Structure formats: C-alpha cells, structure tokens
C-alpha cells in the first residue's frame, strides 16, 4: 500500500499512463517544474524518462528516498547526486523490448526498401509514368549491433530469420553466437547495417562520430533507437549530405522534440518522433512496472528493477 501524499509525480504522463497511475495510487502532481513544489510527505518521485529531473528539485525534498522513472533510459536522472545521498532509482527495462525491436526492424526495412517514398510514388501517380527505383535487399547483409543488452539481444534474435550475419560491440564479449568487435569503428567497418542500442552515458557520448561513419561507408545504413547523444549529429548530417553513408533511420535526436531541421530536406533519412515504446500495451506495462517499484519500496521489498548507479 502506497501512503497518500507520499509520491510526487513530476511532469505530465500520457492519458493512458496517467489513468493506470491513478488506478493504483494517488500521487501529488507537480506538472510545472518552474512552479513551487506542492506540500506533502514525499518519500518517492515518479517521472517519465523523457522528463529531466533537476537535482535542485530533489534537494528541496530531503525526505526523498526513491526516484522511479518510467522508461528504460535513466539519463534524465542526476545519478551521482542520488548515489551520494543514498537515494534509490528504478527504471522499466524488459517490458518495452518487443515494441522497440519491432520499430527498429520496421525502420530498417522502410529505409532500405524506401517504403514511405514508394507510397508517395503511388499516390502521386508517378508509377503510371515510370517504375519505382530499385532498392536494397536485407538478406545476405552484415548487421552490427552496438550494445548487446536486453534490447540488443532481442533485436539479434529477431534479425536471425532474415538471413543476415550478426556482429556486436560492447564493454566486453558475451556468450552469444555472434562475432564480437572491441570497438564500434571496427564493427561499423564490418557492417552493412549498424544498429545503436546502447545506453546514454558519458562513455557513449558521440560514440558514432565521423570516423565511425566513414568506416560504415557509402553502402552502409545507420539505425538509432538508443539516444540522440550517442551520435555526433553534425558528423551524421555531413555524411548524409555527401552520401558518405547510404542512409539513416532515426527515432531519437539531440534536441527533442525539435530536431535539427537540416534532416528534413534529405532523401536518405527516415525520421520518427521517439516512438520506440509508443504502443498502448507497452506504455501500460511500463507504468505498472514503475508503480510496482514504488509498492516494493513502501513495503520494504527488493525493487523489481533497481538501477545500480
């Protein structure tokens, strides 16, 4: 049982998620981060992973002992401060793997087969004048995955039936039947399609730079379902504009929800508005896991998905 006035909800949640929250607890909502903090006996914060949690806000509530973020990413949290002050953090991994991997596969196929462009070709009646251009098949290609965590592993399993050769990179090799490369530049050089599924950390900041894109080459495709910070967008734009890579499919950007408009005029990109987990089923599951963490905290049980920061 979660006590009344013990959870501060920071920021807005979509209607379907808010309904699930309200079904299971009665949080005090703090929707405008610039407004004064409401009064309450707060021991926990509930927040979405796309809402930045200011350290200054937590400092004003010394009773906070848990921050439950709804999302697999937790780069929105001031982790060093939480660790220094013995404040637990939780996220919602696993429950969004299916939705994220489904989108990743869809983005890859849409980019390589130019599906959005082909639909417009039919709608514009251009098909009656000439056949649509030839595209690229996936079978037989080399696919690299940067980040072999939960999502990377599920993505690899979904890729196997497509008759591709799979390789990966990460901090260390794991017991998978895929080729391991120590650096992302080596992986890019050995890949026709490069997926980014790694977490956003200081170590992965601008992990994909000009050298990595050059290694991927003019026939290579980049698919980013990780975070915008993982890619040097200036270098990526330059590579796309000069056809140094074949194309990129991006679900995440540096400046969300207002990405660099230079992407909009390119015909070798596929852009989606950070919708990796944006299905009704997934968002409900994410919300419930976040609330499960809150319930475990207040009943002094182990957190189902604690962030080891």
Pair 137, 256: CB distance under 8 Å = no
Active-site residue, from 160, 205, 256, 281? 256
Following DSSP, what letter does each residue of 14-59 receive, concatenated? -HHHHHHHHHH--PEEE--TTSPPPPS---EEEEETTS---HHHHH
227 carries an active-site annotation: yes
Nearest-angstrom CA–CA distance, 165 and 13 = 40
274 carries an active-site annotation: yes
Pair 66, 294: CB distance under 8 Å = yes
Pair 25, 61: CB distance under 8 Å = no
Active-site residue, from 43, 227, 233, 283? 227
20 carries an active-site annotation: no
DSSP state of 208: B
Place of tokens 């080729």: 179
Pair 144, 188: CB distance under 8 Å = yes
Q: What angle do CA 44, 49, 55 make, to 5 degrees?
A: 55
Nearest-angstrom CA–CA distance, 292 and 161 = 35
Active-site residue, from 274, 283, 295, 306? 274
- Cite the active site residues: 227, 256, 274
């Amino acid at each position: 049982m979660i006590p009344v006035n013990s959870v501060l909800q920071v920021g807005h949640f979509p209607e379907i998620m808010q309904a699930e929250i309200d079904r299971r607890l009665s949080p005090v909502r703090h929707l405008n981060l610039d407004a004064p903090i409401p009064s309450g006996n707060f021991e926990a914060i509930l927040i979405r992973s796309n809402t930045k949690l200011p350290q200054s806000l937590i400092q004003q509530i010394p009773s906070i002992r848990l921050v439950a973020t709804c999302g697999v990413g937790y780069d929105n949290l001031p982790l060093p401060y939480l660790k220094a002050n013995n404040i637990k953090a939780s996220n919602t991994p696993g429950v969004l793997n299916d939705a994220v991997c489904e989108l990743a596969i869809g983005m890859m196929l849409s980019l390589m087969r130019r599906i959005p462009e082909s639909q417009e070709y039919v709608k514009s009646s251009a098909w009656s004048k000439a056949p649509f251009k030839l595209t690229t098949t996936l079978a037989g290609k080399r696919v690299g995955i940067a980040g072999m965590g939960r999502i990377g592993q599920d993505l690899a399993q979904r890729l196997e039936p497509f008759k591709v050769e799979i390789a990966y990179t990460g901090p260390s090799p794991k017991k998978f039947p895929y080729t391991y490369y120590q650096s992302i530049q080596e992986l890019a050089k050995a890949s026709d399609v490069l997926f980014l599924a790694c977490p956003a950390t200081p170590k992965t900041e601008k992990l994909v730079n000009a050298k990595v894109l050059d290694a991927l080459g003019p026939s290579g495709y980049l698919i980013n379902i990780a975070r915008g910070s993982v890619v040097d967008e200036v270098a990526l734009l330059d590579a796309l504009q000069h056809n140094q890579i074949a194309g990129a499919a991006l679900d995440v950007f540096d400046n969300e929800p207002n990405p660099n408009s230079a992407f909009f005029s390119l015909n070798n990109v596929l852009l989606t508005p950070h919708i990796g987990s944006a299905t009704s089923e997934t968002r409900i599951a994410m919300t419930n896991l976040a609330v499960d963490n809150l319930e475990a905290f207040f009943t002094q049980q182990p957190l189902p998905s604690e962030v080891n920061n």
